[in-house]
Amino acid sequence: MLKKIAIVIGSMLLGVCCGGAVGWLVGRTIYFFVAEFPNRNLSPEQYSMATCGLNLSIGMLTFFVLIPAGVVFGSVLGWNVAATANSMNTPSKEFK
């Protein structure tokens, strides 16, 4: 029983970490294509002026929406994977 609990907790933690990483990666990709890529030829002063509002808005989107959504999705996915693995390992009653 303790082994099954450890498997569920471990897979949920792995899902949380991977989901958070995917959320951050999606936010960073959005920032790259919206702010960095179009303004790559500007001087540092012009770049900071051009991306002033984008830095904050995309950072808030990533921190408050994308990373938590990835954490929740990864946790649910990890729990489902662990539950499926545990149900496959327990023999059903009709074959006893």
Q: Which residue has the tokens 């990835």?
A: 70
Q: Which residue has the tokens 């890529």?
A: 37
Q: pTM for this one?
A: 0.76
Question: Is 47 inside any structural domain?
Answer: yes
Q: Give the model confidence (pLDDT) of 26-75 as tens digits.
A: 999 999 999 899 988 999 899 888 888 888 888 899 999 999 999 999 98
Instruction: Please calculate the CA angle 96-9-91 and round it to the nearest 5 degrees.
Output: 5
How many independent structural domains does the chain possess? Answer: 1
| Residue 50: half-sphere exposure toward Cβ, Cα within 13 Å | 15
Q: Give the model confidence (pLDDT) of 7-26 as tens digits.
A: 888 888 999 999 999 999 99
The whole domain housing 76 covers: 16-86
Q: How far apart are CA 39 and CA 88, in angstroms?
A: 53
User: pLDDT class for 4, splitting at 50, 70, 90?
Assistant: confident
Question: Is 94 inside any structural domain?
Answer: no
> How many C-beta atoms lie closer than 10 Å to residue 2's C-beta?
6
